[in-house]
Structure 1
Amino acid sequence: MFSKLSVVVASVLVTLAAAIPNGTPPPPVTPPTSSQCCNSVVPSTNAAATAVAALLGLDLSGLSVPIGLSCSPITVGNNCGSTTVTCDAPEEEWGGLIAINCLPITA
C-alpha cells in the first residue's frame, strides 16, 4: 500500500515541477516612453546585455529588441554625451544598468 502511495506522490511532484516555469520570464516590452542617455545600445543577444541581465535576474532570451546599458534619465540641463534613446521606463531596481527596447532619438 505504501509503495502505491509513494508512486502517486512522486508522480504529483514530477507533474508540479514540470508545470512551474524555470527561471524568471523576460521583462515586458512596451512602447518606449522614457528618454534616456545610455553608454551603449546593443542587441538583446549581446553577451554584455545578457550578462548584466543575468546579474539582475532578468532573462532576455526570446527578446529581439535593443538594450541600453548604463542609462540615466535625460532631464533639463542634462547633456547626454553618449547615446540618446527612448526606452521602456527602466525599473528602479535595475539601477540604470539596463533599459529595454531603446530606440534612437533623432532630431
Structure 2
Amino acid sequence: AAADSCSTGPVQCCNSVESSHSAAGSALLSVLGIDLQGVTAQLGLGCSPISAVGLGSGNACASQTVCCQNNNVGGLISIGCAPISL
C-alpha cells in the first residue's frame, strides 16, 4: 500500500484518539446520535487526511496518525481507528 493510504482509506492525522467508552467519546457519539451498541471502538477526533506529498514536505502529523474504518462521521469524528507509524 502507498504511504498515504490504509486498506480502509487515507491515513488520517487526528488531534486526539479516544475510546468510544471514554467520557469524550460517549459525549460525541451521543450528540451525533450514533449508537455503537456496546462495541468498543477507537474514535479519531479532529481528523484530516495526510497526503504522500505532505509527508515529504515536512507537513508531518503532530498528533495521532491512524487508519480508520469510517472517516469523517458527522463531520467530526472517525470510527474504528488504529494507530500507525509512518
Structure 2, unmatched stretches of 5+, are 1-6
Deviations 1:9-54 (A, max 9, x none): xxxxxxxxxxxxxxxxxxxxxx743311111111110111111112
- How far apart, in 1, do the equivalents of 2:39 and 2:74 lie? 18
Could you tell me whether the CA contact under 8 Å between 1:38 and 1:83 is conserved in 2? yes
Q: More helix by proportion, 1 or 2?
A: 1
Q: More strand by proportion, 1 or 2?
A: 2
Could you tell me which residue of structure 2 aligns to residue 94 of structure 1? 74
- How far apart, in 2, do the equivalents of 1:100 and 1:34 lie? 13
Matched residues, number: 75
Q: What residue identity is the alignment partner of 2:24?
A: A
Q: 1:58 aligns to what SS in structure 2? A: coil
Q: What residue identity is the alignment partner of 1:104?
A: P
Could you tell me whether the CA contact under 8 Å between 2:18 and 2:42 is conserved in 1? yes
TM-score (structure 2 length as normaliser): 0.72
Structure 1, unmatched stretches of 5+, are 1-30
Q: 1:55 aligns to what SS in structure 2? A: helix
Could you tell me which residue of structure 2 aligns to residue 57 of structure 1? 33
Alignment of 1:6-85 (within 5 A): 32-75=8-51, 76-77=53-54, 78-85=59-66
The structure that has the greater radius of gyration is 1
TM-score (structure 1 length as normaliser): 0.60
The structure 1 segments of at least 4 consecutive aligned residues displaced by more than 2 Å after TM superposition are 31-34
